[in-house]
Structure 1
């Protein structure tokens, strides 16, 4: 205790000093840097506390779960629920299909496992930003064919770097025809009170740009309720033919832009002459 007081208040902490002005001491700064916690890690700690104390969100499937379930089709071989929490939405989205729920909270996954209630539903604890571990979990299901990926408010609770890593992983493992259903809070919604899990307001158009960059995922629908501060995004994994068509179209656009620039320069030179 004496060491902590000295590191915080300085070596003269035992003697009252009416002129003392508090500042972080060098030793305390070094200790704080050594144990620095990122916003994403703090968010996970808060979620762990919520589920361990029984402070989880309301019971029963969400409206988004029913919305996502309506996007299952005859080709869908399974459902992946990212940020599944206690699994309250997983079974609704999956119906009778095999399902895999993934969450970073141990307490949440334990609750989800008790909720499962049937074969073919599995829950696992993992960091969605850890590419190798996530691929190992997803591949046994995604290798069978198109899946439905569901993520309700997950992206609000992770840092952008984690989101970028997740997008890269999904691009690698999803079979053509797979669907991704996302729900995020947007800039119009007020963040939660201090001590609640990380709230990262997400701009819907920027989200779509990040997820559709390249030629792997295509936007199906974007619904933005500005009053509620919520956006829903549905994306589809392109087929190989569609990706080639997308790439050819992008190349054609670049060629046309180049022709237009040269034409403008030629017209400018002619007018000056």
Structure 2
């Protein structure tokens, strides 16, 4: 395969293989990729690539790789001017036939801004987009009748204001509204009232969070189309709009609404839409960018999650499916809890197992006469054991809690601090399975609850095929620094190799000089 001819300073020495597109260039710009005459996707030449030798490489997104079999002419174009920057004929995969990126019905697919393959608006005729526009008008009318003032939002608003049309590289439609309420609690109540009104009108609704949901609209051919509805409100001089916006804002920029034209239809828009578009897409929103990536500030994400997303974070996508597959069955106590018991027998009166999972360790401690409580944010994990505990006579209970929600951690910390007697807390593969925020809250909870008692931790410190599901090895020095900042003192530390620890209820054969991959810590707060 010969490299394409040079294309100026932006992109030279273009080559294509099964791993992606390689080139040389130092300018960062949005470019489009075509296979033959079909636009496949877009990327930024510096931001979305990795360094490779003297040049850069854009790796094929995972969603695209199953289609990379055959020959095709790969062309890279400047997105704004559509000037070709390089082209090459290439054989990918088997090299047989022509590469075709399409759905089962032969409709062309393209990568959206999240690198998911979708049927994009650029490949749809007016006949196909008319039902979408009808659905937008219907749901806007239903929301208005329910008592809010909706408008088209995000990419739908951007396309209408900038081009008067649906954006070619987009694939869905978004609506929004700004509540008259200022308190999150009232905004959530209003959102659920909107949902009930829509359901009464016959619309199926799927909820994303406290103030965001999807409305299903059935088209003439029987196909169900979903429209996302994002709620928002003003508080402390800032607009908070799900999806994820927090920006200085004035209500007079929003209401009374104006209108804008989308594919020949007049639809409601914010009174001064440029302010909302700048909050959504930045000051350069007028310049088309099919590879646009919205980077949510961590403070905004935490704020909106705390108000509206609650217990959803990572649970429905990761942990509920895991416990559904495994039926929540950890039937035998871990080697870790046996180690804790050897150190605490005859001393500890109460034990709190944070991130208890299926709850076997808490049940084991209760059978030893220690009052035990297991806490986890995936109820599916301990559900069966919780029912059995309520029926039995053991000093055992299970309770939901989430380390990534301060409103969950603080009340529980106060409650556990009132428990009298000698207390210990266990956290086996919790610090290495949660976020930095979750680790900070784990240490906060222990400091509040233990009153001089001990926190027992087991964390992974190196990769290993034996690590439990969802665990990511920690930088131990960084974690020790977190403990120190919390006021805690490590009073014992044990580094473990495979020949010194039982993992998943079996002894793994190790070598005498095997490096440690697990560390157990005992922490106390004065």
TM superposition score normalised by structure 2: 0.37
Is this contact kept in 2: 1:191–1:199, CA < 8 A? no
1:63 counterpart residue number = 335
Is this contact kept in 2: 1:44–1:197, CA < 8 A? no
Q: SS at 2:432's partner residue?
A: helix
CA RMSD of aligned residues (A): 3.6
Could you report, residue by residue, the CA deviation over 1:129-168 in whole angstroms, capped at 9, with x for unpaired residues? 3234223234444321431111111122211121112212
**Quick one: distance in 2 between partners of 1:228 and 1:217?**
22
1:271 counterpart residue number = none
The verdict on how the C-alpha distance between 1:167 and 1:26 changes in structure 2, with shifts beyond 3 A counting, is: farther
1:12 counterpart residue number = 122
**Quick one: distance in 2 between partners of 1:123 and 1:134?**
15
Runs of 4+ in 1 over 4 A off after TM superposition: 26-31, 35-38
2:474 counterpart residue number = 202
- Bigger share in strand: 2
Is this contact kept in 2: 1:222–1:233, CA < 8 A? yes
2:377 counterpart residue number = 104
Q: Does 1:87 align with 2:359?
A: yes
The verdict on how the C-alpha distance between 1:10 and 1:51 changes in structure 2, with shifts beyond 3 A counting, is: closer
| Pairs aligned (count) | 221
Q: SS at 1:156's partner residue?
A: coil
Q: Does 1:25 align with 2:169?
A: yes
2:325 counterpart residue number = 53
**Quick one: distance in 1 between partners of 2:478 and 2:496?**
13
**Quick one: distance in 2 between partners of 1:71 and 1:13?**
67
The verdict on how the C-alpha distance between 1:64 and 1:126 changes in structure 2, with shifts beyond 3 A counting, is: same
- The equivalent position to 1:179 in structure 2, one of 454, 459, 477, is 454
**Quick one: distance in 2 between partners of 1:172 and 1:98?**
19
Greater relative contact order (CA < 8 Å, ≥ 6 in sequence): 1
The verdict on how the C-alpha distance between 1:69 and 1:191 changes in structure 2, with shifts beyond 3 A counting, is: closer
The verdict on how the C-alpha distance between 1:44 and 1:232 changes in structure 2, with shifts beyond 3 A counting, is: farther
Is this contact kept in 2: 1:43–1:197, CA < 8 A? no
Range with bigger deviation, 157-166 or 134-143: 134-143
The verdict on how the C-alpha distance between 1:77 and 1:58 changes in structure 2, with shifts beyond 3 A counting, is: closer
Is this contact kept in 1: 2:455–2:523, CA < 8 A? yes
Higher Cα radius of gyration: 2
Could you report, residue by residue, the CA deviation over 1:197-232 in whole angstroms, capped at 9, with x for unpaired residues? 533211223222211325343332232436462221
**Quick one: distance in 1 between partners of 2:415 and 2:440?**
22
The verdict on how the C-alpha distance between 1:69 and 1:142 changes in structure 2, with shifts beyond 3 A counting, is: farther
Q: Does 1:161 align with 2:437?
A: yes
Q: SS at 1:151's partner residue?
A: strand
Q: SS at 2:455's partner residue?
A: strand
TM superposition score normalised by structure 1: 0.67
- The equivalent position to 1:78 in structure 2, one of 327, 333, 350, is 350
- Bigger share in helix: 1
2:406 counterpart residue number = 131
Could you report, residue by residue, the CA deviation over 1:33-64 in whole angstroms, capped at 9, with x for unpaired residues? 939999x9336632211223334464211111
- The equivalent position to 2:396 in structure 1, one of 98, 121, 140, is 121
**Quick one: distance in 2 between partners of 1:230 and 1:198?**
15
Q: SS at 1:211's partner residue?
A: helix
Is this contact kept in 2: 1:78–1:99, CA < 8 A? yes
